[in-house]
Structure 1
Amino acid sequence: MTAVVLVHGLYHRPDHFSAVADRLRAAGTEVVVPELHRGSLSADTAAVQAVIDALPEPPIVLGHSYGGSVITGVHGAAHLVYLAAFVLDDGESAAGLGGTSPQLQEAISPEPDGSTSLHPDQALDVLFSDCPETFAVRAVGLLRAQSPGCGRGVPKRHSWKHIPSTYVVCVQDRAIDPSLQRRMASRCTDVREWQTGHSPFVGQPELIVRLLWELLAAQTPPRRKE
């Protein structure tokens, strides 16, 4: 059976995807949610690539926000899903595309060690404003500090040019401008638009689960890795 790999964005943790992962696993789907925060885009990409390489069959790989920069650089996926995420082309970086909205920029606070974190109240408004309060507060509590420079990373590979891909535009997003999302979505083979904010995996996980089930059902038996 095709597995699913879920790749989180900056400041996030694998636990942010718990509602999605739990539902998929309950239905018998293998799900892997790797931890990023390895210090650079290349290191984060290598961590996800190691997960893909360890699976017996090519998985569906979903990247959220900065996670799109990461999955752009992998190989061996059956399908790529970009959730309000960065689909980078030659020489591009998330920062170079103007990926951070003014609201998100205002939420970023420098830390003494050179990392940055998000101010909780502003993060709640920018990332989780359309989520039920209990879930949103938990999601803010899971956020962690971020090493500098990841958003300026440029991927060496551009797998969306060779692998089928689906882009989900989050129309109410306050972190990444939906107009930028639509420009990047034009690079993908399929585009969906959801009336959600930046983090539907917190507020409406069933949307992501249904999309992934649809993509899983459409998969022909994948060619086994050599």
Structure 2
Amino acid sequence: MPPNTKSLSPKTAVLVHGLYHSPAHFDALVDLLRSQGVQVTVPTLHRRSLDADTQEVQAAVDAHSTPPVVLGHSYGGSVITGLTGAAHLLYLAAFVLAKGESAASVDAATSQLRAAVRPDNAGTRIDPTLATALFYADCPPETAARATALLRHQLPGCGRGFPGRQAWQDTPSTYVVCTQDKAVDPRVQRLMARRCTTALEWPTSHSPYLSRTSDVAALIQHQFDNLAEE
């Protein structure tokens, strides 16, 4: 039986963060989902290659007793594209890559993102004075300040990786286009969204899991409801 048609009991989810970010950026969403009875795992990326990051997330998917709904934010979309065994793929301002594409090659980075990236030893970082406007423009000030403080150094290599498979070709998927995104060009998001089963548009910045946490949780729960009806 295909993974997406199995009964989802218990409800499980895997959340995959983007470049410069960390699992702690998902804390509010994790707390809300757990309060709703969802078992949540948030792997840590930044393992110097897309392949290594994908292996880490695949291990988290495989560890669940039922196929999880998997959310990928930004670069996290590149990671979840290479997975097997997910019940549903949820792309949040994320990269839905075809064969031979990388996050770098689809040219989705805005001029604002390029301007905010600074050299940092062997890697790069985001200028903290530009982070709120870039990632968290519609978040409360205290939320944006915490999220900025959590941003981390990024080693090179991840964004140039090619997924080993295209999971969106055989797994149901949903894309959320963030129309006010200043990091990943919404025009490119719309092109990638065409590859998914369904697509939505939200008038949000790059990080709706912080600005619209309850809406993201509801979207995840909606996937559980859909899967239970199949």
The two structures share one fold, judged by TM-score above 0.5: yes
TM range (shorter): over 0.9
- Which of 139, 148, 160 in structure 1 is aligned with 2:168? 160
Pair 1:48–1:221, CA change in 2 (3 A): farther
Look up the equivalent residue of 1:163 and give its one-letter code.
T
- Which of 166, 176, 180 in structure 1 is aligned with 2:188? 180
Look up the equivalent residue of 1:130 and give its one-letter code.
D
Look up the equivalent residue of 2:202 and give its one-letter code.
W
Equivalent residue number for residue 135 of structure 1: 143
- 1:59-208 equivalences under 5 Å are 59-112=68-121, 114-208=122-216
Equivalent residue number for residue 43 of structure 1: 52
Shift of 1:84: 0.3
| Structure 2 spans left out of the alignment, 5+ residues | 1-9
Alignment TM-score, normalising by the size of structure 2: 0.94
Q: Is the 8 A contact 2:19 2:75 kept in 1?
A: yes
Shift of 1:221: 8.1
Output the CA distance in 2 between the equivalents of 1:123 and 1:95: 20
Aligned length: 221
Q: Counterpart of 2:228 in 1: which secondary structure?
A: coil
Shift of 1:213: 1.1
Q: Counterpart of 1:220 in 2: which secondary structure?
A: helix
Tell which deviates more after alignment, 167-176 or 198-207.
198-207
Q: Is the 8 A contact 1:37 1:147 kept in 2?
A: yes
Shift of 1:99: 2.3
Alignment TM-score, normalising by the size of structure 1: 0.96
Equivalent residue number for residue 4 of structure 2: none
Look up the equivalent residue of 2:139 and give its one-letter code.
C
Identity %: 52
Runs (4 or more) in structure 1 with deviation over 3 Å come to: none
Aligned-residue RMSD, C-alpha: 1.1
Q: Deviations over 1:4-40 (max 9, x none)?
A: 1000000000011111110010111101111101111
Q: Is the 8 A contact 1:104 1:123 kept in 2?
A: no
Look up the equivalent residue of 2:215 and give its one-letter code.
L
Q: Is the 8 A contact 2:11 2:37 kept in 1?
A: no
- Which of 1, 23, 37 in structure 1 is aligned with 2:32? 23
| Structure 1 spans left out of the alignment, 5+ residues | none
Shift of 1:207: 1.2
Look up the equivalent residue of 1:165 and give its one-letter code.
S
Shift of 1:220: 2.6
Q: Is the 8 A contact 1:36 1:47 kept in 2?
A: yes
